[in-house]
């Protein structure tokens, strides 16, 4: 699915209602990761204000240089910073975004189809963490909240060196967020965009570690359903791979799966 074949509002509504077949759901969420226009429509359908729709209309899709792309990304992320400003308590003298409980939120590091991820400092345990918040415009949508919390429960159930650890789940002003292990590194998607190719021995190493992480998830009865380069993190300094984003995970004996007969 590309920007030229964006889904209609009916499919987006079915995503919120969780009535799409598993393969269509995974494809649609992947599309949302890269399409701010569709995220805006999704937010409108969920009762939000369409912050990203107006922003997306201002983007020049022909921009292709590194500096231009950085400017485009910055313009996409800026509304999200404003969107979450109300959730953070200002920290005097800090260059960060503010405080969330005992976490000092330092910067936004990405956004996906339904949430935004920030780098933060855990003052209690003196460590860097990643904090993922459900988009504010989706917070009042029961299906979106259920999907977000399911990700937290699914990831927290898996204990493996190749799966991102979830430290905590909480709420702020009625919006759920989860606190995760922060990985200093890059995604496989980012690496491929920069290098174009990966050596065979590295392909085998990454594949084996991803398989181990998935095996650990399967041992807990979970099917990830959204393995892609963007959800495979490569840790700096060590040859270790981490699987992230369990937002589409399903319990193997989930009744919704047996109705369709698909995973």
Active site residue 54: no
Measured between alpha carbons, how far is residue 34 from residues 12, 40, 86 in Å? 15, 12, 25
Q: Are 129 and 182 in contact (CB under 8 A)?
A: yes
Given 27, 226, 245, 254, the catalytic residue: 226
| C-alpha pair distances (Å), 24 with each of 34, 85, 106, 248 | 16, 33, 35, 11
Q: What is the 3-state secondary structure (H, E, C) of 17-63?
A: HCCCCHHHHHHHHHHHHHCHHHHHHHHHHCCCCCHHHHHHHCCCCCC
253 CB neighbour count, 10 Å cutoff: 8
For the annotated catalytic residues, the residue numbers are 226
């Amino acid at each position: 699915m590309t920007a030229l074949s964006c889904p209609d509002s009916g499919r987006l509504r079915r995503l919120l209602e969780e009535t799409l077949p598993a393969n269509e759901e995974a494809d649609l969420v992947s599309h949302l990761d890269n399409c701010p226009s569709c995220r805006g429509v999704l937010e409108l359908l969920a009762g939000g204000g369409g912050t990203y729709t107006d922003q997306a209309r201002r983007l020049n899709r022909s921009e292709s240089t590194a500096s231009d792309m950085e400017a485009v990304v910055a313009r996409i992320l800026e509304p999200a910073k404003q969107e979450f400003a109300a959730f953070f308590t200002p920290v005097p003298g800090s260059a960060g975004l503010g405080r969330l409980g005992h976490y000092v939120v330092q910067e936004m590091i990405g956004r996906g189809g339904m949430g935004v991820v920030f780098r933060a400092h855990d003052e209690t345990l003196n460590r860097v963490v990643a904090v993922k918040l459900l988009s504010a415009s989706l917070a009042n949508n029961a299906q979106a909240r259920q999907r977000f919390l399911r990700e937290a429960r699914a990831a927290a159930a898996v204990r493996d060196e190749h799966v991102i650890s979830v430290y905590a789940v909480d709420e702020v002003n009625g919006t759920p967020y989860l606190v995760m292990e922060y990985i200093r590194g890059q995604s496989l998607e980012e690496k491929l965009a920069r290098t174009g190719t990966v050596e065979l021995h590295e392909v085998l190493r990454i594949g084996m570690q991803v398989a181990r992480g998935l095996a650990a998830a399967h041992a807990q009865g979970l099917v990830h359903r959204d393995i892609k380069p963007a959800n495979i993190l490569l840790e700096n300094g060590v040859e270790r791979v981490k699987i992230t984003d369990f937002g589409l995970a399903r319990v193997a004996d989930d009744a919704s799966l047996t109705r369709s007969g698909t995973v």
